[in-house]
Amino acid sequence: MENNKSTLVVFSGDLDKAIASFIIATGSAAMGNQVTMFFTFWGLNILRKEQYVPLQKSFMDKMFAKMLPRGPEKLGISKMNFGGLGAKMMKYTMKKKNITTLKELIEMAKELDIKMVACTMSMDVLGIKKEELIDGLEYAGVASYLAEANEANINLFI
Amino acid sequence: MENNKSTLVVFSGDLDKAIASFIIATGSAAMGNQVTMFFTFWGLNILRKEQYVPLQKSFMDKMFAKMLPRGPEKLGISKMNFGGLGAKMMKYTMKKKNITTLKELIEMAKELDIKMVACTMSMDVLGIKKEELIDGLEYAGVASYLAEANEANINLFI
Amino acid sequence: MENNKSTLVVFSGDLDKAIASFIIATGSAAMGNQVTMFFTFWGLNILRKEQYVPLQKSFMDKMFAKMLPRGPEKLGISKMNFGGLGAKMMKYTMKKKNITTLKELIEMAKELDIKMVACTMSMDVLGIKKEELIDGLEYAGVASYLAEANEANINLFI
């Protein structure tokens, strides 16, 4: 087989969709594909550090920062969230059934050399700074994503 | 034209997205493409039998089973659902305008030899058993989906 | 590089996803790709004229017309909309940071010769007439979309 590429735009910040993204991405990398994940809009929440990072921000940026969840442990699910209960149920049942957690999937993605890119325009809109995101990311815009997608076999928007 | 493939990951269990998935899938199969639909997470609800299937389940699995809709007739829509009213309006208007229903689209998909695959990991997470899903499905994991997507022209995540 | 194609199914009528769609589409066209956007279901709301167009409609079609937002200024966002507040915050912050608005992106898409297609079946379901949509669109069904997607490098469902 030739050198195959996969790209995923991770737009959603829902726990269930984030898990699906990383399962597809790590699965594809494990098959030998070169994988790029492009995190944009709410998808950036997946990459936020759990701890609060004190920074100078405008009022609006502070508002967004407060309202948006910080990292994998804080994400809700896209259906039946019931104020976080659904997300808890899903995490509880996944743990009990020994299914890899989102945090572990993110670590696995790094180990598999998946390129994780944070969308700089979305960071600007939501007022998110590099200091607030986890280590090991690249930073780029849509042109960089499109250049890769043009050459990839699998392109998904999640 | 060569032998073209299409794959669809059906993640959503919303009536409107389910209809869109099957319209794209059956349209693509009608064009001569080889089509695989991979049902994961809430998408599994589309494949549930309408009648209750009595099975031994853990408390959590029973909770999920109760909360999740059973089959095409029970799905809500992604916008303006208003506790099911939106879904009813949409079904009423589609019927009046002689547009194929989701149930008919599923039958059509089977007749067109569309490969409908239930994601076994999601079945495990949501505690859904084979007995609860309609006939004519295959059962596989993400690796099987990715092998097909790698060779397909059209890959969508819905 | 050869003649590359991109297609986007714009199913969602959320402001944030609409913006993402047009940023990807215009970015791809700017790279020299031939781009088709296929607007279906709620995605049609993005293309509605802002002003009310008086037309003879059935009761159901009138209901849908009243409930569905008319054009870019009226769209909500997919998360944290809070009855429109989230959408206002996002528009405010994007304006302040000099990021292109959705209306400008739509104009840009036309100038870049992006083919914008309204899905005729969805127009039928939602009772939307050509007179209610902006100028410069094409009208077609899923077969037309699939013919293009089969030849495209990038196919996304948003």
Report the distance separating Cα B15 and Cα B99, nearest Å: 14
Task: Tell me what pLDDT residue B3 has.
Answer: 65
Whether the CB of B146 is below 8 Å from some CB of chain A: the reply is yes
Report the distance separating Cα C67 and Cα C64, nearest Å: 5
pLDDT in tens, A74-91: 999 998 887 888 899 889
- What is the domain partition of chain C in residue ranges? 5-73+100-157
Report the distance separating Cα C4 and Cα B152, nearest Å: 16
Task: Tell me what pLDDT residue A80 has.
Answer: 80
Q: Do C4 and A150 touch (CB under 8 A)?
A: yes
pLDDT above 70 coverage of chain A, percent: 98
Q: Do C24 and A142 touch (CB under 8 A)?
A: yes
The phi, psi pair for C2, rounded to 5°, reads: -75, 180
CA proximity to A55, closest of A123, A139, A121: A123
Q: Retrieve residue A45's tokens.
A: 């929440």
Please compute the mean of the pLDDT values over residues A114-133 and round it to a whole number.
96
Please compute the mean of the pLDDT values over residues A127-140 and round it to a whole number.
96
Q: Do B78 and C147 touch (CB under 8 A)?
A: no
Report the distance separating Cα C16 and Cα C79, nearest Å: 9
Task: Tell me what pLDDT residue B105 has.
Answer: 97
Please check the confidence at residue C108 and state whether its pLDDT lies above 80: yes
Task: Tell me what pLDDT residue A1 has.
Answer: 46
Task: Tell me what pLDDT residue C1 has.
Answer: 46
Task: Tell me what pLDDT residue B2 has.
Answer: 55
Residue of C nearest to B80 (CA): C67
Residue of C nearest to A148 (CA): C154
Q: Exposure of A30 by Cβ count < 10 A (0-12 exposed, 13-18 middle, 19+ buried)?
A: middle
Confidence class for position C3, pLDDT limits 50, 70, 90: low
pLDDT in tens, C14-58: 999 999 999 999 999 999 999 999 999 999 999 999 999 989 999
Residue of A nearest to C4 (CA): A150
Please compute the mean of the pLDDT values over residues A9-15 and round it to a whole number.
97
How far from the centroid of its chain's Cα atoms is residue B15's Cα? 9
Assessment of whether the complete model's pTM goes beyond 0.90 = yes
Topology of domain B13-36+46-157 in CATH is Hypothetical Protein Ychn; Chain: A, (3.40.1260)
Name the average pLDDT for chain C: 93
Q: To 10 degrees, what angle do helices A142-149 and C15-30 make? A: 70
pLDDT in tens, chain B (158 residues): 456 999 999 999 999 999 999 999 999 999 999 999 999 999 999 999 999 998 999 988 998 888 899 999 999 999 888 788 888 888 998 899 988 999 999 999 999 999 999 999 999 999 999 999 999 999 999 999 999 999 999 999 99
What is the CATH code for C5-73+100-157?
3.40.1260.10
Name the average pLDDT for chain A: 93
Q: Do C23 and A67 touch (CB under 8 A)?
A: no
Window 11-30 of B, Cβ < 8 Å to A = 11, 13
Whether the CB of B143 is below 8 Å from some CB of chain A: the reply is yes
Cβ neighbours for B111, distance < 8 A, ≥ 6 positions apart: none
pLDDT in tens, A16-67: 999 999 999 999 999 999 999 999 999 999 999 999 999 999 988 998 888 8
Q: Which residues of C touch B156 (CB under 8 A)?
A: 9, 155-157
Residue of B nearest to C58 (CA): B93
**How many other C-beta atoms can be found within 10 angstroms of the C-beta atom of residue B3?**
8
CATH of the structural domain A14-127+134-157, one choice from 3.30.413.10, 3.40.1260.10, 3.40.50.2300, 3.60.60.10? 3.40.1260.10
